[in-house]
Amino acid sequence: MTFKRFAEYLARIEAESGRLEIIRMLSELFSELSPEELPKAVLLLTGRVAPEFLGLEFGVAEKEAAKALALALGADEGEVWKRVREVGDLGRVAEELLPEREGGIPLLEVYQELLALAQDSGPGSQLRKRERLAALLKRASPLEAVYILRIVTGRLRLGVGEATILEALAQAVLGDRGKRPLLERAYNLTSDLAYVAELALKGEEALAQVQVQVGKPIRMMLAERLPSPEMIMKKLGRHIAEYKYDGERIQVHYDGERFWIYSRRIENITHQYPDLLEAFREHLKKPYILEAEAVVHDPVTGEPLPFQYVLNRKVKHLTEALMERYPVRAYVFELLYLDGEPLLDLPLVERRKRLESFVPPSERFEPSTARWIETVEELEAFYEEALEVGDEGLMCKKPDGNYEAGKRGFKWVKFKRAAGGRLADTLDVVVVGAWWGRGRRSGTYGSLLVATYNPEEDRFETVSKVGSGFTDEDLQKILPQRLDPLRREEPSPRVWALLEPDVWFEPGLVIEVEAQEITLSPNHTCAYGKVKEGRGLALRFPRFLRYRDDKKPEEATTSQEVVELYRMQWK
C-alpha cells in the first residue's frame, strides 16, 4: 500500500464520528494491507513507530517541523511559520503549499524513514531530523504530508482508541469483531499492538498461547469501589486487605541482567528509581515481574508523603541530591512472574505466599502490609490503622482471585472515605473542553468540561463542569501549558457531549476531583439512559484535587462506576 492510500483512509476516519463506521473503515484498511504492512500501520494509527513502553519519541516540535517544510519548499522559514500561525495546523499549510504528486510513497518506506528519524539522537540530531523530514516531504503528496507532519509532531488525533483498533483487527483478520477479547488478552499481557496484529495473522491459537514476557509491561489490573465495610464484606466475604499507599504504582521487570520499571501508563520510568534498582539487585536474584507502590518518605521523620512528592523524581537527570531529598520506599503487593513461571492465573493467596517468601523486608522495599479480614469490625479497625500511619485507605481482595491484566473488577475493591459530606470516593476524570473565564479568570480557562470513560463504546462521556479547587497558578500557567497542546477545533470523535464549551480538547489530561453527590442530568452523557431515560449522571459541587499524570485517559473512572456510586448514595 502507498502512504497516500493510507492517508486517504485516515482522512475519512478523521471526518467520521460514528464508532461502528470507524471500525468498518479500519477493518477495510487492515484487509488491504500486506502481512508486513499491518503491524506498522497499526502503530502509525497511534501516532507512533514503536510500542509506547520502548520510549521511542520523534522529538520534533511543531516549529522544527515547520522549518523542515520550509526546507522542502525552498521557502523562507519565517513566512511558513507565519502561515502556520494563521491557519493553526501545520499539516493544512503543507497541503496548501506542496505541489500535487501522482502515485505515492510506499507505506513501509515512510514507516522506515519515520523510525530512523525517531531513533536519531545525540549531537547534531536536530539538524539531521530536519533534513530527513524535509527530504521525505519533498517526495510526499499534499495529503501524505498532512499525516506525516501530524504523526511526527504528536497531533494525529484521529479519535481512535486501542479498543477500537483491536475490534477492527478482530473483524479484518479473524472475521468477527466479537472476537476482540482474544486480541485484548494478548494486548493486556504484552502492551504491544504491533505484536498482537502479527499474532492475529497467525490465527486464534497463536493469540490464545500468549504469555507474559519479561521486559514487556503487563497492563495493570484495576479495582472497583464500594462505599462501606458492610458492602465490602457482603461482596467479598472473608478476604485479604492491604494498605492502600499514596504513591506511584510501578511494575518492575528483571530478566537476570536488565531492569525495566513501567508506570501504570506503560511508560518506561526506569531512570527515576536507580536507588530502588540497586536494592532490588542486591536482594532479589531470580528473574521476576512484580508490582509495588513507590512512596516518598520524609527524610527526617520517615513519614510517608503524598503522591505529588513522587513527581519530583520525574526529571530527565535524577541527581543524588534529589534522591536524598525525596527518598523512596517500595511496598510490593504483587508477584506476577518468577524464574520462568507466570503467576497471574494463581489465586491471590498463592501469589501472596510466593511474594512473601521471595521479597524480604529491607531498607528500600518490603511486602505491603496485609491482613486477613473476617468481620466488619476488623475491616474498620484495619482501615483506621492504615490512616493512622499516613496511608489513604485499603485495597480489599478476593483470596481466590487471579490477576486479570488490564481489567477492572470486584476481585479487588477499594475502600476509601471522603470527609465533610462528600462522596465516599474521589473520581478520576478526563478534561475534554473548557469555557473562558471572566473577571479574575479573564484570559484563561474559567471552568473545565470533564468526562468519564465508557470502555464498551471506547468513548468519553461528560459528567461535570469543574471550576473550583484551582489555584491562581493552575489557572494562569499550569492548565494552559497542559491543555493548549490538546486543543481541537471540534470535539474528538471519542467524546460524546451535549454541552458546547468554548474550547475542545483531545482527551489527554486526567484530573482527580471530589464531589458532594451524583445527580441525574439532561445535559451530561455519562451513563446516558442507563439510570433514567433521557438523563445522564452528573457531579454536584465538584472540586479539583490534583493532576493524575500517572493515569492514561482510558484509566479514568468509568461511566459504569459512576452508576454504581450513584446507586450507593441511597443504600
Instruction: Cite the active site residues.
Output: 244
Other C-beta atoms closer than 10 Å to the C-beta of 413 total: 21
Q: Are strands 510-514 and 495-496 parallel, antiparallel or unpaired?
A: unpaired
* Among 408, 400, 410, 368, residue whose Cα is nearest residue 241: 368
Name the residue with cell 498461547.
209
Q: Which amino acid is at 395?
A: M
* Measured distance CA(517)–CA(261) in Å, rounded: 38
Q: Distance of CA 186 to CAs 270, 460, 544, Å? A: 24, 24, 36
Q: Are strands 495-496 and 459-466 parallel, antiparallel or unpaired?
A: parallel
* Among 406, 381, 378, 379, residue whose Cα is nearest residue 395: 379
Could you tell me if 418 and 248 are in contact, meaning their C-beta atoms sit under 8 angstroms apart? Answer: no
* Measured distance CA(93)–CA(73) in Å, rounded: 11
Name the residue with cell 464549551.
501
Q: Which amino acid is at 121?
A: S
Q: Distance of CA 16 to CAs 9, 159, 292, 492, Å? A: 11, 9, 41, 10
CB-based burial label for 528 (10 Å; 0-12, 13-18, 19+): buried
* Among 570, 218, 246, 226, residue whose Cα is nearest residue 393: 246
Provide the CA 44 distance to its chain's centre, in angstroms: 17
Which stretches within 107-179 are classed as H helix?
107-119, 125-139, 142-152, 162-169
Our CA dihedral for 318, 319, 325, 328, rounded to 10 degrees, sits at 50
Q: How many CA atoms lie within 13 A of 197 on its CB side?
A: 26
Q: How many CA atoms lie within 13 A of 36 on its CB side?
A: 7
Find the helix or strand (DSSP H, E) in which 496 lies. Answer: strand 495-496
Phi, psi of 21 (to 5 degrees): -70, -35
